[in-house]
Amino acid sequence: MNQILTLKNTKNNLSNLTPIQASAFTLLKQNKYLIIKPTNKNLGPPALMDLDTYMQQVLREHLLSQDYTQLSYHEVTTQMDTLKQDLKNIINTNQDTRFKAELTYFNRSLKAHF
C-alpha cells in the first residue's frame, strides 16, 4: 500500500505548477485567440501572445524577409527529383556496407516520400 501511495504522489509532483496555475494554464491553452510557445529551450516560462501578433511576427521574420525565396512548382519538383536520384545513388553506392534491414528501410522511405 505504501508503494502505491508513493508512486501516486510522485506522479502528481511532476508538474512545477500549483493546481491554480495549472488550471489557469489549461484555460489559456483553450483560448483560440492566444498562442503559447516555449521559450529559452524550455528553461523559462512559456511566451503568451495573441494569435494575430504571432502570425504577423512569423510573416515578418520568415516569409517576408530576404532570407527565403519562394520556389515555383517546377523548381520544387526539379529539386525533389534531383534529391531522390542523389539519395538512390548514395544507397546504391554503399549497398555493400549496409545491412539488409537498412536498405529495406531506405528504399521504403524513398517510395513513401517521393
Residue-range domain boundaries for the chain: 2-63, 73-113
Please provide the DSSP assignment of 30-98 as one string.
H-TTEEEE--GGGTSPPEEEEHHHHHHHHIIIIISSTT--PPPHHHHHHHHHHHHHHHHHHHHHTGGGS
Q: How far apart are CA 45 and CA 60, in angstroms?
A: 24
- Residue 92 contacts residue 107 (beta carbons within 8 Å): no
Residue 8 has pLDDT above 50, yes or no: no
Residue 42 pLDDT level (bands cut at 50, 70, 90): low
Q: Which pLDDT value is given to residue 105?
A: 87
| Rg of the chain, C-alpha, whole Å | 24
The answer to whether residue 96 scores a pLDDT higher than 50 is yes
The whole model's pTM is what? 0.42
Query: What is the per-residue pLDDT across 61-93, written as a single tens digit (0 to 9) for each?
Result: 888 878 888 889 999 999 999 998 998 888 888
Q: What's the confidence (pLDDT) of residue 5? A: 43
Q: Which residues contact 18 (CB under 8 A, 6 or more apart)?
A: none
